[in-house]
Amino acid sequence: MNNSVFRNKIYPLLQTAYRWYSKTPEYFLEVAYQAALKIKAIEDEHFHGNKIAPSTASYSSSVMNYFQADLQKQLQIIEIRLKIFNTSRTFLPVSPTKTVDQESEETDKINLILERLRFIDEVTSKYIEDDQVIYADKLVAKNKGSTSLSSITNKPKIKEKKQLPSTRQQPENRSKANTTGVLPRSIFNTINRLQVELDPNAEQDVVQKFRKSQQRTIISVRFILLLIVVPILTHQLSKAFFVGPLVDKFQLLERLHNSEEVAFFLNYEMEEEALNELHKFEEKVRFENLINESNPLSKEQIKIKIQAEAKHLAERYKKNSDNALKNVFADILSVIAFVWLLVISKRDIAVLKEFVDNIVYGLSDSAKAFIIILFTDVFVGFHSPHGWEVILEGVSRHWGLPANHEFIFLFIATFPVVLDTIFKYWIFRYLNRISPSAVATYRNMNE
């Protein structure tokens, strides 16, 4: 019985596992080969068969970031899969004596493997040997101490050139307009502008630049909307379908176990607000009863109305307390969704950064100064403490926390000062170097 079970069930599983293991090197080599084909396709389609680098095509920085991210991803896939390919081949058992047909098939398989390895070497060699390609440097830094792509494919290692921090490699072809010469730069700029205008392909270049700018704008606006909509939807959906039912169920179980006393208020401030409302309602009822001479209420009727209002207030504040607890967990999920969106959208962040830079640095000096003054007056100006106080109290009420006025005053006394220091450092360190005229306009308007 045991032999039949082994023969009918276990032995076929072992055969299947062995066949899968014997084909593991071919599978990982195929994955590395497909990654090399993707790199080659990008080179042929977008870089005229040349390597993926800013020097071989006239793309914007956001588009180059997109292509270079794909290049880095495919190079990492090739490196990891070739490592697994070589490792798995070393553990394969030696096959028994084969027939002529099996040997011919094995020879064809080896030739195919060698051909694919040569193709992978041809595609990846230009990115490993060229010290100017940042992706090869990133891969070497990330996988420091591991075998590089060239060593995996049995190629000799190429020594990396060390560059001194103080000396950066300058481009070989420098424009005459960027060098100091006998003639003024404006003359060379005029000549270059005339060359562009007389170029028959100038219209195509303009259209291509416009399409790139349009694509960058669409990507940026879509990403901004995602950053706003995704956390809001996560908060609302999780609160309605996940967090809300869990909190309600927990509150119901707590009421069943503690039937003697039910907590209607999450903190003492809610209780004070409820007592003030009940006191105002009681005064209002008594005042209306005093001026109503035709049909005055008795003391018992007044007491019944006050009790009904007290129950109504207790239920309302109980719902507010439960809602505050739901907001805490829903906000945590919203923050997780927001961070996850930032992690998976590195390309979109690079495009958005370029989009914002083009908008901000494309404004006039007066517009830049106006935005700076508006920002500083709102967040770090004379009237900003009142706004920060309202924001912090609203956040405390949203989470059901008592408003700690000492913490609020300490926050107002420190955070706007730190923010103002950072903002002034940004003006001094970056804006003053990029647009000194905007800084001068800002100082004149601020005075």
Half-sphere exposure of 115 (CA within 13 A, CB side): 6
Structure tokens of 353? 């950064």
Q: In 3-state terms, what secondary structure has residue 292?
A: coil
Q: 55-77 pLDDT, tens per residue? A: 777 777 777 888 888 888 888 88
Q: 13-58 pLDDT, tens per residue? A: 555 555 555 566 777 788 888 888 888 888 888 887 788 888 777 7
In angstroms, the CA 65 to CA 71 distance is 10
Other C-beta atoms closer than 10 Å to the C-beta of 279 total 11
CB 52 within 8 A of CB 71: yes
CB 69 within 8 A of CB 138: no
Q: 271-282 pLDDT, tens per residue? A: 888 888 889 998
CB 444 within 8 A of CB 438: no
In angstroms, the CA 444 to CA 447 distance is 5
Give residues with Cβ within 8 angstroms of 142, minimum separation 6. Answer: none
Structure tokens of 262? 């039910």
In order of 127, 288, 319, 335, the CA distances from 274 in angstroms are 70, 21, 13, 32
- Predicted confidence band at 168 (pLDDT cuts at 50, 70, 90)? very low
Q: 357-366 pLDDT, tens per residue? A: 888 878 888 8
In angstroms, the CA 106 to CA 112 distance is 10
Closest residue by Cα to residue 345 from 218, 220, 234: 220
In angstroms, the CA 172 to CA 198 distance is 26
Mean pLDDT of 99-111: 71
Residue predicted with more confidence, 207 or 162: 207
pLDDT higher than threshold 90 for residue 435 = no
CB 32 within 8 A of CB 81: yes
What share of the chain has pLDDT > 70, as a percent? Answer: 74
Residue predicted with more confidence, 368 or 255: 368
CB 120 within 8 A of CB 152: no
Position 83 scores a pLDDT of 82
Task: Tell me the pTM.
Answer: 0.51
Domain locations in the chain? 2-173, 202-345, 363-447
Q: 290-302 pLDDT, tens per residue? A: 887 777 788 888 8
